[in-house]
Chain A
Amino acid sequence: MTRKTLTALLLGSSILGSAGTAFAQDVTLNIESWRNDDLAIWQEKLIPAFEAANPGIKVVFAPSAPTEYNAALNAKLDAGSAGDLITCRPFDASLELYNKGHLADLTGVPGMENFSDVAKSAWQTDDGKATFCVPMASVIHGFIYNQEAFEKLGITPPATEAEFFAALDKIKADGTYIPMAMGTKDLWEAATMGYQNIGPTYWKGEEGRLALIKGEQKLTDPQWVEPFATLAKWKDYLGDGFEAQSYPDSQNLFTLGRAAIFPAGSWEISVFNTQAQFKMGAFPPPVKNAGDTCYISDHNDIAIGLNAKSKNLEAGKKFLSWVASPEFASIYANALPGFFSLSSTPVKMEDPLAQEFVSWREKCKPTIRSTYQILSRGTPNLENETWVESANVINGTDTPEVAGEKLQKGLDSWFKPAK
């Protein structure tokens, strides 16, 4: 019902909007997106803020269902009926659109300098010469913990790996709480919240990730196998029957207060805020020795680009410059705690947990998930294989060395690094 009304409203507004153009020479920009959850935020906060500052440009946010988005967008782009602004998925899906000439080159758009190279890497050509989407938000990995449990047991958030395992031992010895809420049933939990969470500390973030793409490092090298070895040690601290524990199970275990630590992605923040009855804190992936540089996975998730065949290229670019501005970053990040602006200028956020997560950007070096760029283009797909192997390592089916070997072998079967 409500969705129908909304659609009708949207349709109405877009027709009225274009009717207006004829008289007042207004320009209407349509945004294609899969984030229908964000409709209210766009309509109530983002669009009014932009329109107030830019009279003469109207913006309509027209999202479609996430699962249909890629297919629907491709069809619309081919038919020439797509909106002016296009929300970009990270990496290959958007790169393909750019290569087909559907997305405009945005390298020189003012505001682009507000983003670091890592932030832009998800929406660049492989050589990094052209950027075709303005980064909007990323998600950060870390650990969320039950503050009451920590206080009761006298534990402070661990900074090093030794402290991390000491804390886990202490929680386990006490027995009130399950030390860590994670399962291997859904596979991706082990890979995304486990391997990609703690891994960057070992392979030194961007340094290791890029070396892997260049072929200078291999997944059998110690810095890539060690995170698996650490993951294997987690096994003893997970709940009974973690092999059949799914991702929602883990979430519930934690928010019900039965588990002390949750290996997390920042997107959990808004969910946990509404469900958990206790105070929560967060700490970044622990480093090996005190004083080491810390690395965090600050993974690019969403961006926005310009339809190359749009009739309103100038207005579109104006809007994108605004998306690149600190003003947009601040509104967006506060409306969606856990989706962090990729802008280099720090954004002030109200949510304490979100603040904690984003504060790591200043002391730690950010990187993105190692498997996403280029390395998941072929078959077998490195990301999906990493899911399976991470779960295998925690279940004890494969040793860390075997896991590394299997992944490298799969990668070697199709990936030839550019020398």
Chain B
Amino acid sequence: MAETSTPSRPFRWHIVVFLAPAVLVYTLVMILPLFGTLQLSLFRTVENAQSFVGLDNFRTLFGDPRWAATFWNALWNNTWFFIIHMLVQNPIGVVLAALLSSPRLRFSAFYRTAIFIPTILSFVIVGFAWKLILSPLWGVAPNLMDLVGLKSLFTPWLGKEEYALTTLGLISVWQFVGIPMMLIYAALLSIPDEVIEAAEMDGITGMSQFWKIKLPLILPSIGIISILTFVGNFNAFDLIYSAQGALAGPNYATDILGTFLYRTFFGFQLQVGDRNMGAAIASMMFFIILAGVCLYLFTIQTRLRRYQY
């Protein structure tokens, strides 16, 4: 209507417009469901209606001896699953990347692709293929081990309580070792030649060059990979479900938080699904991952030294 006294800058609508799609989609598919889950975990079905019960579901989860035992079992299994990845997958990934970046290696593009291929396979295929390979009846594993005279070491790994989870962990490592390899390979390639040349001038070559020059420079990448592994492992579900089923046998030896959540939320066989307890478990998974990521961000990442080239 009236003219404004000061010529104000026009509102920059384009920022809102450009941000809107991402914000809307992210809110719809990530933030709303997250708060929906948190809310659901505070309710319980009483006489066919949802009623607010505060933290009662969490009290059941940690107070009831059966729920608590299942939860701690799943959490420990999950932690062990993560430890296997940290101890096996990431070091192998670093070694493979170091080998691949060596200028003297021939066919490196072929190796790179071959090692990365399992990562793009579906969990169902991986689970099924490994179940077949390790099958004591039709699998190739017993025959192959027989060829090298190690038949006596073969056991039905997926069916034994003490080996099943480790076996699945290693299968998952086989599948995903390509990801740390690729990320570290990229980091290694981005180290400028001048730095390497300077090191060579100072007489640092070979292994000591890797330990003293390259490794410190790729530490931030290793940190990122660790946190990705952590988030991925604590959200894992598919491989266990496709190889061992929702009851995560034998005797819950391969039960991780994901399968525990699935069984509780959706129910299984005669067990009716319990959305509220399921949401409580999902919330716990969220808090565990949140705590892990925060720990990393505030204690480890801030201390990592970055180098400017």
Question: Residues of A with Cβ closer than 8 Å to B?
Answer: 92, 183-188, 239-246, 249, 253, 371-372, 376-377, 379-381, 383-384, 387-388, 391-392, 395, 397-398, 410, 413
Contact = CB atoms under 8 A, between A and B. Distances in A.
Contacts of B23: none
Contacts of B138: 249
Given A184-B159, A187-B249, A379-B274, 11 more contacts: A185-B250, A241-B156, A242-B136, A244-B135, A379-B277, A381-B271, A384-B268, A388-B252, A392-B251, A395-B250, A397-B250
Given A185-B158, A371-B270, A383-B269, A391 B251 contact: yes
A245 B250 CA distance: 12
Judged by DSSP, the binding face of A is loop
B161 interface: yes
Given A241-B136, A244-B134, A376 B271 contact: yes
B59 interface: no
A381 B269 CA distance: 9
B272 interface: yes
A358 to B, nearest CB: 26
Contacts of A381: 269-271
Contacts of B131: 246
B157 interface: yes
B66 A380 contact: yes
13 contacts: A186-B249, A187-B245, A239-B136, A241-B136, A242-B156, A243-B158, A249-B135, A376-B271, A383-B270, A384-B271, A387-B269, A392-B250, A395-B159
A184 B249 CA distance: 9
Given A185-B158, A185-B159, A245-B159, A384 B247 contact: yes
Most chain A C-beta atoms within 10 Å of own C-beta, residue among B156, B247, B270: B270
Interface of B: 64, 66, 131, 134-138, 155-161, 245, 247, 249-252, 268-272, 274, 277
Contacts of A186: 245, 249
A311 to B, nearest CB: 27
B48 to A, nearest CB: 9
Contact of A391 (B250, B271, B277): B250
A115 to B, nearest CB: 23
A126 B134 CA distance: 46
A181 B186 CA distance: 52
A388 B250 CA distance: 7
Nearest to B274: A379
Contacts of B157: 244
A92 B158 contact: no
A413 B65 CA distance: 10
Most chain B C-beta atoms within 10 Å of own C-beta, residue among A246, A371, A377: A246
B271 A245 contact: no
Nearest to A375: B270
